[in-house]
Amino acid sequence: MTLEERVEAALDEVRPTMLADGGNIELIEVTGAGVARVKLTGACSSCPMATVTLKMGVERVLLDRVPEIKEVVQVG
């Protein structure tokens, strides 16, 4: 399984919660420095709690499941 596939699999773990709130998350890229660049969509894109969701939810799961990932950042 590629690094991107492993990141997608980890995102699939948090995606149901986001979908339940009317949002979603899309993997844009994984950089060579271990940064997962993601885009929050739907209700999540404008939610005031998006940063908390990203850092406390998504990033925590990715760092745990995919050790090569060092950080998760939100893009446009």
* Full pLDDT tens readout for the chain, 76 residues: 999 999 999 999 999 988 998 999 999 999 999 999 999 999 888 888 888 888 888 999 999 999 999 999 999 7
pLDDT at residue number 38: 96
The helix/strand/coil state of 23 is strand
The pTM for the full model equals: 0.90
Distances (CA, A) of 48 to 5, 24, 45: 29, 15, 9
In the chain, what are the domains? 1-43+63-76 (3.30.300.130)
Report pLDDT for 55.
Answer: 86
Closest CA to 11 of 34, 43, 31, 40: 40
Q: Residue 53: its pLDDT value, please?
A: 84
Q: How far is CA 28 from the centre of its chain?
A: 10
